[in-house]
Amino acid sequence: MVLAHVSLSYFQGGIEFTLAAQTAAPGNDNIYVNYAGIKMQSLLTQSMFELF
């Protein structure tokens, strides 16, 4: 889970937003934590492209 408040004071006159995201992967082994992290990175990258 990620919860972040972002303040870009010099970008386009100033932008602030709060981002909350959660991912999950099936299974309870440690490798699935890695899979959830990869899904999270993909979700955040896609969100930034859509935002800007």
Percent of the residues in the chain that have a pLDDT greater than 70, as a whole number: 100
Domain with 43, as residue range(s), is 2-51
pTM recorded for the entire structure: 0.69
Res. 7: pLDDT tops 80: yes
Contact at 8 Å (CB) between 23 and 39?
yes
The structural domain count of the chain equals 1
pLDDT at 1: 87
Q: Identify the three-state secondary structure at position 20.
A: strand
CA-nearest of 18, 12, 7, 5 to 52 is 12
